[in-house]
C-alpha cells in the first residue's frame, strides 16, 4: 500500500478492498493498490517454470507426445484468440455489473466551500499537512511504478530469482517472499518519513517497535495471499494448457473467500475487537439498526487508540462475518455524532456494499487472470523467462499485478465515492439530522487533518470518499430538499 494510504487509514492492513471503510477517512484513502495490498488481491497470479527449468527436480511432466504438458506456454494463436474473446466478454460483464451497481444519481450538494465551515487556522493546518505528505506520497507512487516496471520490463527479477534452488513450489514460495521483502526494503525509508510526519501532527501514537511490527504483519498477510495465488496458478499452468479458465474461476473464488474471512482471520492480527459495552449508546445504535431493518447483532469497538488519534468506522465481511466496527477513538465524540457514523455504516450494510464490491472485485480478478495469460508470453520475452511455470516469472507476475492495481485504483475510487455518498444520504434519511451530520464531518476532518481542497490529481488518485466540504454541501442540499432547516 502506498505511503499515502498509511497516512489516512490509521492502521496498516486494516482496510481490505472489501471493507467499506470509514467514511471518516481522509480523501487520500486507499491509494496505490500495490501488489502488496491485501485488498486488490485478486488479479490472478502465476509463475511457472518451463523449458529452462527442466531438470531442476524434473517437475515438468511430459505428455506421451513428448511435449511438456500445458506448461504454461501461451503461444498457440488459437488458444490466445479464445482467451482474448473471454477477456473482452468478461471485461464487459464486469463493467456492466459495476456500472449498474453504482448509484450514479446520488444526491450531491452545491460547490464545496471549506471557508464556510472551517476556520482559517484549520484550513492552514490541513494545507500544511497536505504539503508535507505530498512529496513522500508521490515518491512512493513513483517508486511503486518503477519497481513494478523493472520487474515487468527487464530481466532483473528473473536474474535474482534464478539463484533459487529446489522444487518449483519452493522457488515460487521463496520468490514471493524475496520480491515482497525487496520491495518493502526499498519503500521502508518513505514509510518512516510518513510515519514521522504523522507523529509530528499528532495523528500517530506508535513507537517504532509497534510500527515495525504492524508493517511486518502486513507483509506477512500479503505474502501469504500472494503465495497462495501464485502457487495455485503455477500448479494449474503446469497441468492445463488453457489455464486461464481455472485461474479465472480460482481468482474469483479466492477474492470472495478472502473478503468473507478477512474480518475474522486477518483483522484480529492488527486490532482487538470487543463488543460495545452495555449502555445508552449501544441501546440506541441497535434500536436504530432495527428501525432501519438492518439486522445487526453487535457493534464492535476496535482498540485503535493504541496507535492513532484518527476517527474511523467501517463495515467488513458479508453474510455471517459482516460486522460494523467503530474505532474507540470515535467514542469520545458526542453520542448523536457516533450514531450518525453508525447510520452511515448501516447504509453500507443495507445496500450490501461489501458484497457487491467483493463480486466486482472477484470479476475484476478473473479478468486479471485472463489478461495475465495473454501478457505473460510477451512480458517473459523481455523479462527473461519463457513460461509462467518458470519460478523466475514470479517477479514479473507481481509487477503486472501492481500495475493493474494502479490502473484500476482511480476507477475504484469513482465507484467508491458514489457508494459513500449514498451511505451519507442514508444516514441523513435515517437520522433526519443534517446539523449533527455537519458537526460530525467537521470533527472528522479536523481530527484526521483531511485535505479540504484536494487538487484534481490527488482527488482522482486517492479520494475514496467525497471531500468533507462536499459531504457538508450535500447535507445542506438534503436539508433543503426535505424541508429541514438548513444548518
Q: Which is nearer to Zn ion, 6 or 420 (CB)?
A: 420
Pairing of strands 299-302, 323-327: parallel
348 is in an annotated binding site: yes
Catalytic residue selected from 15, 117, 345, 433:
345
Catalytic residue selected from 15, 39, 424, 458:
424
Q: Which is nearer to Zn ion, 236 or 423 (CB)?
A: 423
Q: Which is nearer to Zn ion, 173 or 349 (CB)?
A: 349
CA dist 76 and 60 (Å) reads 19
CA dist 143 and 73 (Å) reads 31
Residues 15-44 that bind Zn ion (CB under 5 A): 23
Tell the smallest beta-carbon distance from residue 424 to Zn ion (Å).
8
Cell numbers 457538508 correspond to: 472
Tell the smallest beta-carbon distance from residue 481 to Zn ion (Å).
21
User: 369 is written with which cell numbers?
Assistant: 487472470
Residue 420 binds to Zn ion (criterion: CB under 5 A): yes
Tell the smallest beta-carbon distance from residue 349 to Zn ion (Å).
10
Q: Which residue has its beta carbon closest to Zn ion?
A: 23
Q: Is 345 one of the catalytic residues? A: yes
Q: Say if CB 258 and CB 17 are below 8 A apart.
A: no
Interface with Zn ion: number of residues (CB under 5 A): 3
Q: Which is nearer to Zn ion, 393 or 475 (CB)?
A: 475
344 is in an annotated binding site: yes
Find the part of the chain contacting Zn ion (CB under 5 A) among 216-224, 420-428, 455-463, 470-478.
420-428
User: 306 is written with which cell numbers?
Assistant: 493504541
Find the part of the chain contacting Zn ion (CB under 5 A) among 146-154, 355-363, 394-402, 415-423.
415-423
Tell the smallest beta-carbon distance from residue 125 to Zn ion (Å).
24
Distances (CA, A) of 140 to 178, 189, 213, 448, 463: 20, 10, 20, 21, 17
User: 42 is written with which cell numbers?
Assistant: 485478486
Q: Say if CB 385 and CB 52 are below 8 A apart.
A: yes
To the nearest 10°, report the CA torsion of 466, 468, 470, 473.
Answer: 140
CA dist 121 and 119 (Å) reads 5
Tell the smallest beta-carbon distance from residue 311 to Zn ion (Å).
13
Distances (CA, A) of 107 to 114, 410, 440, 483: 19, 21, 19, 15
Of 71, 256, 343, 423, the one binding Zn ion (CB under 5 A) is 423
Find the part of the chain contacting Zn ion (CB under 5 A) among 49-57, 79-87, 419-427, 440-448.
419-427
CA dist 19 and 419 (Å) reads 12
Q: Say if CB 232 and CB 365 are below 8 A apart.
A: no
Q: Is 424 one of the catalytic residues? A: yes
Q: Which is nearer to Zn ion, 29 or 114 (CB)?
A: 29
Output the known binding site for Zn(2+): 344, 348, 420
Output the known binding site: 344, 348, 420
As annotated, the active-site residues are 345, 424
Applying CB under 5 A, the residues found at the interface with Zn ion are: 23, 420, 423
Amino acid at each position: 500500500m502506498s505511503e499515502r494510504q498509511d497516512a489516512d487509514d490509521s492502521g496498516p492492513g486494516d482496510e481490505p478492498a472489501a471493507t467499506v471503510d470509514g467514511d471518516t477517512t481522509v480523501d487520500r484513502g486507499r491509494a496505490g493498490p500495490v501488489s502488496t495490498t491485501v485488498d486488490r488481491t485478486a488479479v490472478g497470479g502465476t509463475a511457472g517454470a518451463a523449458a529452462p527449468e527442466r531438470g531442476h527436480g524434473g517437475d515438468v511432466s511430459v505428455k506421451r507426445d513428448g511435449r511438456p504438458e500445458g506448461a504454461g506456454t501461451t503461444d498457440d494463436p488459437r488458444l490466445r484468440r479464445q482467451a482474448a474473446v473471454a477477456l473482452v466478454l468478461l471485461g464487459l460483464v464486469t463493467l456492466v455489473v459495476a456500472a449498474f451497481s453504482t448509484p450514479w444519481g446520488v444526491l450531491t450538494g452545491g460547490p464545496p466551500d471549506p471557508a464556510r465551515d472551517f476556520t482559517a487556522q484549520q484550513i492552514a493546518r490541513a494545507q500544511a499537512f497536505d504539503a508535507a505528505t505530498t512529496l513522500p506520497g508521490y515518491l512512493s507512487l513513483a517508486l511503486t511504478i518503477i519497481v513494478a516496471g523493472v520487474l515487468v520490463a527487464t530481466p532483473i527479477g528473473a536474474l535474482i530469482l534464478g539463484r533459487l534452488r529446489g522444487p518449483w513450489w519452493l522457488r515460487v514460495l521463496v520468490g514471493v517472499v524475496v520480491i515482497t521483502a525487496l520491495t518493502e526494503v526499498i519503500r521502508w525509508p518513505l514509510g518512516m518519513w510518513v510515519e514521522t510526519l504523522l507523529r509530528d501532527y499528532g495523528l500517530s501514537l506508535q513507537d517504532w517497535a509497534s510500527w515495525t511490527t504492524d508493517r511486518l504483519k502486513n507483509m506477512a498477510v500479503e505474502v501469504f495471499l500472494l503465495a497462495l495465488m501464485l502457487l495455485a496458478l503455477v500448479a494449474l499452468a503446469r497441468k492445463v494448457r488453457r489455464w486461464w479458465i481455472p485461474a479465472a474461476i480460482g481468482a474469483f473464488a479466492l477474492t470472495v473467500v478472502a473478503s468473507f474471512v478477512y474480518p475474522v482471520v486477518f483483522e484480529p492480527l492488527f486490532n482487538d475487537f470487543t463488543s460495545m459495552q452495555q449502555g445508552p449508546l449501544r441501546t440506541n445504535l441497535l434500536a436504530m439498526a432495527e428501525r432501519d431493518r438492518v439486522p445487526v447483532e453487535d457493534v464492535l469497538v476496535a482498540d485503535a487508540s493504541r496507535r492513532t488519534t484518527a476517527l474511523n468506522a467501517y463495515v467488513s465481511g458479508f453474510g455471517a462475518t459482516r460486522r460494523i466496527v467503530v474505532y474507540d477513538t470515535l467514542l469520545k465524540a458526542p453520542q448523536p455524532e457516533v450514531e450518525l457514523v453508525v447510520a452511515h455504516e448501516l447504509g453500507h450494510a443495507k445496500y450490501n456494499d461489501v458484497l457487491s464490491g467483493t463480486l466486482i472485485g472477484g470479476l475484476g480478478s478473473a479478468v486479471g487472470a485472463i489478461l495475465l495469460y495473454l501478457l505473460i508470453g510477451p512480458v517473459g520475452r523481455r523479462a527473461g523467462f519463457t513460461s509462467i511455470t518458470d519460478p523466475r516469472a514470479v517477479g514479473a507476475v507481481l509487477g503486472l499485478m501492481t500495475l493493474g492495481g494502479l490502473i484500476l485504483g482511480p476507477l475504484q475510487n469513482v465507484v467508491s465515492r458514489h457508494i459513500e455518498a449514498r451511505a451519507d444520504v442514508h444516514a441523513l434519511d435515517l437520522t433526519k439530522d443534517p446539523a449533527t451530520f455537519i458537526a460530525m464531518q467537521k470533527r472528522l476532518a479536523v481530527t484526521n487533518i483531511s485535505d479540504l481542497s484536494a487538487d484534481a490529481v490527488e482527488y482522482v488518485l486517492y479520494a475514496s470518499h467525497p471531500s468533507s466540504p462536499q459531504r457538508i454541501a450535500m447535507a445542506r442540499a438534503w436539508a433543503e430538499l426535505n424541508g429541514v432547516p438548513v444548518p
